Structure 1
Amino acid sequence: MKNTDLFDNLSVRNMGDLPLELQTNRAEELKKKIEVGGKRMLKITRIILTVLTILLAAYGLITGNFKFQPLMLFSLGLLFLVIGLIEFRKGRKTYGWVCIFTFLFSLFVSIQTFLWS
């Protein structure tokens, strides 16, 4: 019988009743599932923010109406935040920090633009 067969009907609450070896196996499986789900979530969020930013920028360029520019800048900042988190996950801390600082700067600029307009 595989270890995974033992865990099909178990929740995290009753893991204390299991032997230590099975608890660590279950914890490792849960950690892998969370990592895969987190990567997928960041990838989907990055794609959505990229499309939103491009659409808002294209609207402003095509129509000459820049009333959505603060929203575009805000979505661009969120995109940099997501890219920074992805870079931290990959272990590239330098690029991660650059993206986080870019997010903070664009957040500041978009808030200033919201307040002034």
Structure 2
Amino acid sequence: MKESGIDPDIYTHNILIDGLCKSGRLIDAIEIFQDLSDKGYGPNVRTYNIIINGFCKEGLFEEALALLSKMEGNGCLPNAVTFETVIRALFEKDENDMAEKLLREMVARGLLN
């Protein structure tokens, strides 16, 4: 794309990041994610959700929770998918207290129907 003079947009980056996460190349995905911010592209909720899911699949819950907190500081509000991704992963790893805390936060934000 770049050789053809086409700048990849956030959606293209999301596809690339998602593919890297799914193929187990989380470090490469994180590098691209960080590069987005450095280049002035604001990661959207989908971008954050992809990386948070990647962290959860690797059992990196502290990193997932830290990124969840950082989202709002960067002006991107987490949605139901964001919370559900982390909550589901926490329950699967028997981190029930943290999962229930996030579930309560999700309810308080009106993200649970």
TM-score, normalization by structure 1: 0.30
Q: Which has the higher helix share?
A: 1
Name the larger-Rg structure: 1
TM-score, normalization by structure 2: 0.31
